Structure 1
Amino acid sequence: MPHPSPDPPHGGGPYPRRAAAAAARSGAIGPIAILLASFQGARHIAAQLASIEGQSYPHWRLIVSDDGSRDDTRAIIAAFAARHPSGQVVLSAGPGQGATRNFLHLIDLAPAGTAIAFCDQDDVWFPHKLARAAEALDRLAEPAHYAARTVIARDDLVPVTESRRFERPFGFRNALVQACMAGNTSVFNAAAARLLKAGSAAARSAAIESHDWWAYQLSSGAGARLIHDGRPALLYRQHARSEMGRNDTAAAMARRFGKLFAGDYGLWVAANLAALAPMHGHLTPENREILDGFAAALALPGPLAARRMRALGLYRHTAAGTAALYAAAAAGRLRQPRSPRIRIR
Structure 2
Amino acid sequence: MRTQLTQQHGAHDTSLPRVAILMCTYNGAAYLSEQLDSFSAQTFPNWVLYVSDDASTDDTNRILAEYQARWGKDRMVIFNGPCNGFAENFISLVQRTEIEADYFAFSDQDDVWFRDKLERSVARLDPLGESAPALYCSRTRLVDAKLNVIGISPLFRKPPSFRNALVQSLAGANTMLINQSARDLLMRLPHKPSLIVHDWLTYLLVTGCGGYVFYDSDPTLYYRQHGGNLIGANASTRDRLLRLRKMLTGRFIVWNDANVSILRGMEQSLTDECRMLLDHFDNGRRSGFFQRVSTFKKAGFYRQTLRGNMSLVLAVCLRKV
**TM-score computed with the length of structure 2 as normaliser:** 0.93
Structure 2 partner of 1:140: 128
Pair 1:195-2:182 in alignment: no
Q: Report the CA distance shift for 1:217/1:69 in structure 2 as closer, same or farther (over 3 A).
A: same
Residue 319 (structure 1) shift: 2.0
Letter in 2 for 1:101: E
Aligned residue runs from structure 1 range 1-345, under 5 A:
14-15=11-12, 19-20=13-14, 22-23=15-16, 30-109=17-96, 111-112=99-100, 114-141=102-129, 142-199=132-189, 201=190, 204-205=192-193, 207-334=194-321
Residue 91 (structure 1) shift: 0.6
* Counterparts of 1:287 and 1:241, CA distance in 2: 37
Deviations 1:181-204 (A, max 9, x none): 2211000012211122223x26x3
Which is further off, 298-307 or 71-80? 298-307
Q: Report the CA distance shift for 1:97/1:11 in structure 2 as closer, same or farther (over 3 A).
A: farther
DSSP-derived class of the 2:20 partner:
strand
Residue 146 (structure 1) shift: 0.1
Task: Verify the 8 A CA contact 1:12 1:60 in the aligned structure 2.
Answer: no
Q: Report the CA distance shift for 1:12/1:51 in structure 2 as closer, same or farther (over 3 A).
A: farther
DSSP-derived class of the 1:121 partner:
coil
Residue 14 (structure 1) shift: 3.9
Instruction: Tell me the percent identity.
Output: 34
Which is further off, 120-129 or 285-294? 285-294
* Counterparts of 1:303 and 1:62, CA distance in 2: 51
Deviations 1:291-330 (A, max 9, x none): 1111111221244223211211111111222122122222
Deviations 1:255-289 (A, max 9, x none): 11221111011100010000111211111111111
Letter in 2 for 1:123: D
Structure 1 partner of 2:3: none
Residue 12 (structure 1) shift: 11
Task: Verify the 8 A CA contact 1:310 1:326 in the aligned structure 2.
Answer: no
Residue 243 (structure 1) shift: 1.4
Task: Verify the 8 A CA contact 1:280 1:288 in the aligned structure 2.
Answer: yes
Task: Verify the 8 A CA contact 2:144 2:224 in the aligned structure 1.
Answer: yes
DSSP-derived class of the 2:231 partner:
coil
Task: Verify the 8 A CA contact 2:19 2:101 in the aligned structure 1.
Answer: no
**Structure 2 unaligned runs (5+)?**
1-6
Letter in 1 for 2:107: C
* Counterparts of 2:38 and 2:309, CA distance in 1: 37
Structure 2 partner of 1:5: none
Q: Report the CA distance shift for 1:143/1:164 in structure 2 as closer, same or farther (over 3 A).
A: same
Query: What is the RMSD of the two structures over their aligned residues, measured on CA atoms?
Result: 1.8
Letter in 2 for 1:256: R
Residue 98 (structure 1) shift: 1.0
Residue 333 (structure 1) shift: 2.2
Q: Report the CA distance shift for 1:85/1:226 in structure 2 as closer, same or farther (over 3 A).
A: same
Which is further off, 82-91 or 97-106? 82-91
* Counterparts of 1:166 and 1:32, CA distance in 2: 27
Task: Verify the 8 A CA contact 1:32 1:116 in the aligned structure 2.
Answer: yes
Q: Report the CA distance shift for 1:86/1:258 in structure 2 as closer, same or farther (over 3 A).
A: same
* Counterparts of 2:44 and 2:117, CA distance in 1: 8
